[in-house]
Structure 1
Amino acid sequence: MTKHNSERNKIMRLLHTMLRVGNLERSLDFYQNVLNMQLLRRRDYPEGRFTLAFVGYGDEADHTVLELTHNWDTESYNLGDAYGHIAIEVNDAYAACERVKEMGGKVVREAGPMKHGTTVIAFVEDPDGYKIEFIQKKSGSDSVQYSS
């Protein structure tokens, strides 16, 4: 990394991704109980008629998290075709899919090697239809690596 990029990284960091959800309690149940995320903070904004809840795998000071926004007067959203997915690293994509199914969740692509490669991936959907990719951690690796 160049010195310029290193200096820039000290002042910029990805904080969160926001998802609009139709039923906050249902979404919190999914992210906390199915995906094992922690509820980091939650706040109602009565005058604006919305609630924000932040979930993730660690403190916001060190981790990128998800912001779940619930607009009180909206039960569902049209996700359109621009949204892709959120990716989560897992130790075992097959076991992660089984857990999702056991908890009543929806697996939309069973665990297996990605097309044209060997990295094991799977896709599940949250209660609002947002896709979440599980990427199996390579053994002996500190983080996910795509391999062909």
Structure 2
Amino acid sequence: MRFCARIAFPMRLFGYFGSRFSLKRIWQMRYLHAMIRVLDLDAALDFFCDKLGLKETRRSEHPEGKFTLVFLSEGSPNAPEIELTYNWDQKERYTFGRNFGHLAFEVENIYQVCERLQSKGVIINRPPRDGRMAFVRSPDLISIELLQRGKSLEPSEPWKSMQNTGEW
């Protein structure tokens, strides 16, 4: 981890707070979530929950701001989340900033996951030809990378000879 502040800053901060705080606590961070704006909340939930297998952890409706927030995770306590933001009045698909690339999920068996997604109508944009990596897209065209946990699986058909489809 790289820190941009000079060492004097944390030492002054530590001195200011006294011995109750450690430098480790001051600098410790935990990844919380990535936010995605979605055009169709039902389609997004179908993709992320029914197809990818994430679970809704919490939801909040904001009538005054005309938006809904839905948080999803893989289900274990303190797991990082995806925040789906649904703006009720949004009618046009969101455009993408070049600073966002994709979301990535580690999977136990890349072939089984891709087979399950394909059976549910999800297009495998970048098949796992190498037994390691695949890409699919959400209904809002967010790229989702699927990575094989541990070593790559032995390349096998039908994936080995499958071509890319569309953008990923």
TM-score (norm 1): 0.79
Instruction: Tell whether the 8 Å contact from 1:121 to 1:136 is kept in structure 2 after alignment.
Output: yes
- 1:99 Cα offset (Å): 1.3
Name 2:87's counterpart in structure 1.
71
Match of 1:40 in 2: 57
Displacement of 1:82 after TM fit?
2.7
Offset, 1:85: 0.7
Runs of 4+ in 1 over 3 A off after TM superposition: 8-11
Partner of 1:96: 113
Q: Note the 1:101-112 alignment, pairs <5 A.
A: 101-112=118-129
Quick one: distance in 2 between partners of 1:25 and 1:127?
10
Compared CA separation, residues 9 and 88, structure 1 to 2 (3 A): farther
Partner SS, residue 50 of structure 2: helix
- Number of residue equivalences: 131
Task: Among all aligned residue pairs of Structure 1 and Structure 2, give the percentage whose two residues are the same amino acid.
Answer: 39
3-state SS in 1 of match to 2:128: strand
What letter corresponds to residue 78 of structure 2 in structure 1?
D
Alignment partners' CA distance in 2, 1:39 and 1:93: 23
More strand by share: 1
- CA shift for structure 1 position 80: 3.8
**Whose relative contact order is higher, 1 or 2, with alpha carbons under 8 Å and at least 6 apart?**
1
Q: CA RMSD in A?
A: 2.3
Structure with bigger gyration radius: 2
Contact preservation (8 Å) 1:89, 1:136: yes
Structure 2 residues without counterparts, runs of 5 or longer:
2-9, 11-22, 152-168
